[in-house]
Amino acid sequence: MARVCEYSGKRPQVGNRVVRRGKAKREGGIGQNVTGITKRRWKPNLQTIRVVDENGRVRRIKVCARYIKAGKFQKAPRRKWAYTHAKP
């Protein structure tokens, strides 16, 4: 799943970027004219975090920043790196 929050379901939204020229009538001009319209996307602020799920397993999920700030997840503990030497 690309660019989708696994909890809130947030995904990129599409819209238009409108370019205008001229001075608005309320500012004393003769009105604005649209000179260009292009498509654009608003992307959610997704972060990949390690969380502990219901079964107690650690897994990586993509979550929007709003859910992380709200504290809706139990983050997984940092891994303690212990190198073990393999026996021959």
Read off the pLDDT of residues 28-68 as tens digits, 9 standing for 90 and up.
Answer: 999 999 999 999 999 999 999 999 988 888 999 999 999 99
pTM given for the model: 0.67
Phi and psi for 67 in degrees, rounded to 5? Answer: -70, -35
56 found inside a domain: yes
Q: What is the pLDDT of residue 79?
A: 79
Q: What is the 8-class DSSP label of residue 88?
A: -
**Whole-number Cα distances in Å, 41 to 9, 25, 33, 38, 68:** 16, 30, 23, 10, 23
End-to-end CA distance of the chain: 42
Q: Residues with Cβ < 8 Å from 80, sequence gap 6 or more?
A: none
79 found inside a domain: no
53 found inside a domain: yes
78 found inside a domain: no
43 found inside a domain: yes
63 found inside a domain: yes
For 50, the domain range is 13-69
Report the domain count for the chain: 1
Q: Is the pLDDT of residue 1 over 60?
A: no
50 found inside a domain: yes
CA 24 remoteness from chain centre? 35
